[in-house]
């Protein structure tokens, strides 16, 4: 052997140095000995505590909790020649890709592990390691160029925004990462598993592939444990058929169709499914028209508050109103809030909507206070939309509105949900304090539906608790609901907070609340949300009669 040949020869030391330089490691797993051995850059891959060898149980224990099932799958003996490709995140490390093969009649498995970024190119989604949207479209185009029947299936993770609110973005990303791993494990690489949106996944399979939609649902809807919480994901699934060959549809058009099907599936509730059909195009155009109308509604003044009375249970007098948004569409009439609030949220209009509601409600209240001095300390509640507490200039806007309308301190009451507080309690406390100093009063809405607020309630500057309507509606039939209502009222009294009970449907419920020493009642037993003119008539009649009328029983 020449000097040059010897210089280029690979000895074990050189191999180990090369692996370390490449941030990669070799692994060998022998099930009969319950031993997995490592050589190479184990520390940078998060495998330092396991090197040079460990048991299968120790290996699985070091994996992130949501990936332990994948770790177990890697260790499960397979037939000789079976390839291994598993994405795992070990504690204290980024996601790694484990590639290998089973050897010697399935007695051993061996392969290489490296950071996923070493294997994956720029065509991969950074969070999940799946194909990204652009590359998925390229792959679909390549497949559809060949004759054949195919099916594109897409899944949208339900309530991802709720997960972000409850867990924070980093932990919600762990959920998405685990879902990506499961999708990759459930479908072969030639199915092109991809992440095509923040909460959307897709695959392309031959038409007639056994239960592709069901297999996707089964893969994505397995429970995941994150930060001590058991998460039970659900997905809305859409599917569209396509024929490959010269007349194949454009990949982007096919993806548009399947996303229409996903939107249709969402309309049936969580975990829905739908297939693309021509009828969906009409629905989509209707939605597009509704989006355009909603944007124009702000300009044309079609968005307005309706006012639901809030009554002092002890005196029967109208104490205030809650402003609830309504859309008076010129052709459709009154559009129900559940039809346009979600749309407004998706269009990023909720902050604009919140500011509009505060402006209009404050000006209306100021007019009523001038015209009805005998109404006493009338107030008006306005809901802050999800995330609005984090909006820049919120405090300045509230201070300006109170100053321009001349409202007395506390007359404008802002209602905040528990979810808004729990995302960042310290920041929420700071903003709430500033809102209180600006002259607003503060209510914690839907109290009783969560638990975490109890530990923070005494520290936050609320002056009002609102009991969720479910507990009020059922307190005359359900002992548990009655106990919750009484507990909240007692808690409010102990903390010097006023308590408003929503869902007062009749005189019986109002009587039970009065016995529990609840301060205020609100519900259809008194009146639904009314246009401003009708709300003023209701106020006038209540002042003339000395108390607000209430239904004897529910309709």
User: Is the pLDDT at 2 greater than 80, yes or no?
Assistant: no
Query: Do the Cβ atoms of 95 and 146 come closer than 8 Å?
Result: no
Block residue for tokens 């409010």: 492
Paired tokens of 294: 């909603």
Query: Do the Cβ atoms of 386 and 420 come closer than 8 Å?
Result: yes
User: Is the pLDDT at 48 greater than 90, yes or no?
Assistant: no
User: Is the pLDDT at 269 greater than 80, yes or no?
Assistant: no
* pTM check: above 0.85: no
Tens digits of residue pLDDT in 124-164: 788 888 998 888 988 898 888 888 899 999 999 987 777 77
Paired tokens of 234: 């659900």
Q: How many helices (H) and strands (E) does the chain have?
A: 20, 22
User: Is the pLDDT at 103 greater than 80, yes or no?
Assistant: yes
Q: How many CB atoms lie within 10 A of CB 549?
A: 14
Tens digits of residue pLDDT in 527-549: 999 999 999 999 999 998 888 88
The confidence score (pLDDT) of residue 15 equals 56
Query: Do the Cβ atoms of 152 and 204 come closer than 8 Å?
Result: yes
Block residue for tokens 């109404």: 375
Tens digits of residue pLDDT in 511-523: 999 999 999 999 9
What's the pLDDT band for 38 if we cut at 50, 70, 90? very high
Which residues have C-beta within 8 Å of that of residue 156, sequence separation ≥ 6?
Answer: 197, 199, 200, 235, 236, 237, 238, 262, 265, 266
Distance CA 98, CA 111 (A): 7
Task: Please tell me the total number of residues recorded for the chain in this structure.
Answer: 555
What is the mean predicted confidence (pLDDT) over 422-432?
A: 84
The confidence score (pLDDT) of residue 270 equals 79
The confidence score (pLDDT) of residue 152 equals 94
Distance CA 341, CA 355 (A): 15
Q: How many CB atoms lie within 10 A of CB 393?
A: 10
Residue of 389, 349, 382, 352 lying closest to 364 (CA atoms) = 382
- Between strands 148-157 and 53-54, the pairing is unpaired
- Region at 546 (left for phi over 0; alpha for psi -120 to 50; beta for the rest): left
Tens digits of residue pLDDT in 316-359: 999 999 999 999 888 777 877 877 888 888 888 899 999 999 99
User: Is the pLDDT at 308 greater than 90, yes or no?
Assistant: yes
Cross-strand partners of 281: none
Distance CA 462, CA 500 (A): 13
Distance CA 412, CA 402 (A): 8
What is the four-CA torsion angle of 454, 455, 458, 460, rounded to 10 degrees?
Answer: -90
């Amino acid at each position: 052997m020449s000097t040059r040949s010897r210089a280029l020869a690979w000895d074990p030391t050189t191999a180990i140095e090369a692996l370390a330089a490449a941030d990669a490691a070799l692994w060998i797993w022998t099930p009969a000995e319950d031993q997995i051995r490592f050589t190479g850059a184990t520390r940078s891959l998060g495998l330092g505590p396991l090197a040079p060898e460990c048991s299968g149980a120790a290996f699985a224990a070091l994996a992130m909790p949501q990936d332990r099932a994948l770790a177990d799958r890697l260790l499960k003996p397979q037939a000789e020649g079976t390839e291994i490709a598993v994405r795992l995140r070990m504690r204290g490390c980024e996601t790694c890709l484990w590639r290998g093969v089973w050897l010697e009649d399935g007695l051993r498995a061996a392969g290489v592990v490296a950071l996923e970024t070493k294997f994956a190119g720029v065509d991969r989604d950074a969070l999940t390691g799946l194909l990204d949207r652009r590359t998925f479209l390229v792959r679909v185009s390549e497949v559809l160029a060949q004759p054949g029947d195919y099916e594109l299936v897409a899944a949208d993770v339900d309530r991802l925004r709720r997960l972000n609110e409850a867990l924070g973005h980093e932990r919600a990303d762990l959920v998405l990462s685990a879902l990506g791993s499961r999708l990759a494990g459930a479908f072969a690489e030639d199915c092109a598993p991809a992440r095509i949106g923040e909460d959307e996944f897709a695959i392309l399979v031959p038409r007639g592939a056994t239960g592709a939609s069901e297999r996707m649902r089964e893969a994505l809807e397995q429970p995941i444990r994150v930060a001590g919480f058991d998460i039970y994901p659900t997905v809305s699934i859409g599917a569209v058929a396509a024929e490959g060959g010269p007349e194949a549809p454009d990949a982007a058009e096919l993806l548009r169709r399947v996303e229409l099907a996903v939107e249709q599936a969402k309309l049936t509730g969580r975990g829905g499914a739908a297939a693309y059909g021509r009828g969906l195009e009409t629905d989509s155009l209707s939605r597009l028209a509704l989006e355009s109308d909603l944007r124009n509604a702000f300009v044309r003044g079609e968005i307005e508050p309706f006012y639901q009375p809030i009554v002092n249970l002890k005196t029967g007098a109208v104490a205030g109103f809650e402003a609830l948004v309504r859309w008076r569409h010129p052709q459709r009439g009154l559009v129900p809030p559940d039809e346009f609030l979600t749309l407004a949220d998706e269009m990023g209009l909720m902050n604009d909507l919140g500011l509009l509601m505060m402006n209009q409600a404050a000006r209306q209240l100021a007019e009523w206070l001038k015209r009805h001095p005998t109404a006493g300390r009338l107030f008006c509640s306005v809901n802050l939309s999800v995330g609005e507490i984090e909006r820049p200039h919120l405090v300045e806007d509230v201070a300006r509105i109170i100053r321009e309308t001349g409202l007395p301190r506390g007359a404008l009451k802002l209602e905040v949900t528990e979810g808004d507080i729990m995302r960042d309690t310290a920041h929420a406390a700071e903003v709430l304090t500033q809102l209180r100093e600006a002259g607003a009063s503060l209510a914690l809405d839907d109290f009783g539906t969560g638990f975490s607020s109890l530990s923070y309630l005494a520290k936050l500057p609320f002056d009002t608790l609102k009991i969720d309507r479910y507990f009020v509606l059922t307190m005359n039939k359900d002992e548990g609901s009655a106990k919750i209502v009484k507990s909240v009222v007692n808690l409010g009294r102990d903390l010097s907070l006023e308590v408003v009970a929503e869902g007062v449907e009749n005189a019986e419920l109002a009587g039970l609340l009065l016995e529990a020493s609840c301060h205020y009642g609100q519900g259809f037993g008194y009146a639904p949300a009314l246009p401003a003119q009708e709300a003023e008539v209701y106020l006038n009649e209540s002042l003339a009669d000395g108390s607000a009328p209430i239904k004897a029983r529910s309709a």
